[in-house]
Structures are given as structure tokens and as C-alpha cells.
Amino acid sequence: MWYKPNESMYHARQLGLDAKGAGSDPRRYGSETKDAPRENLARVAYSYVSLLRPLPKYLAYQAAARPLKG
């Protein structure tokens, strides 16, 4: 489970928010088995992006062509 409700409630209270928790549906859905490989590949791709931080494909060219003036 990636979502941590207890931790979220703790942070909300530390920020002074009047937060209420809600339970979720604990059932497993039929599409989870076919969605699992796609989700795993998405996690690997996100890990690559977050760890290596590659330059954006289009923004890098725009930034080189038009430097910021300030």
C-alpha cells in the first residue's frame, strides 16, 4: 500500500488542519492482475526520471535558443 493515511493525518495535524480520515474499499479488483506489469514499468520509469533527472526534450532546446534576461 503506497498511501499512508496515518502519516497523512499526522502531517495535517502538524500543519494545524482539522483533518478527518476515511477508509477505502479493501476489495481487490479484477483488473489489478493485468495492470500490475504496467504499474511496475511505470515505477521503474519514474525512478529513472527522479534519480537521473534528464533534461527535458523540448525545453532544453528552447532555453538554449532564448536565454533569460533579468
Does residue 46 form part of some domain? yes
Instruction: Determine the pLDDT at residue 68.
Output: 61
Is residue 69 in some structural domain? Answer: yes
pTM score: 0.40
Number of structural domains the chain divides into: 1
Instruction: In whole angstroms, give the CA distance from residue 70 to residue 67.
Output: 10
- How many Å apart are CA 23 and CA 36, to the nearest integer? 23
Tell me, what's the pLDDT at 52?
85
Q: Is 68 contained in some domain?
A: yes
Distance CA 55, CA 49 (A): 10
Contact 43, 36 (CB under 8 A): no
User: pLDDT confidence of 1, banded at 50, 70, 90?
Assistant: very low
Note down the domain range covering 53. Answer: 31-70
Q: What is the pLDDT of residues 29-65, one digit of tens each?
A: 778 788 889 989 999 988 888 888 777 667 655 555 5
How far apart CA 4 and CA 10 sit, in angstroms, is: 10
The answer for residues whose C-beta is within 8 angstroms of residue 9's C-beta and 6 or more apart is: 19, 21
pLDDT band at 15 (very low <50, low <70, confident <90, very high): very high
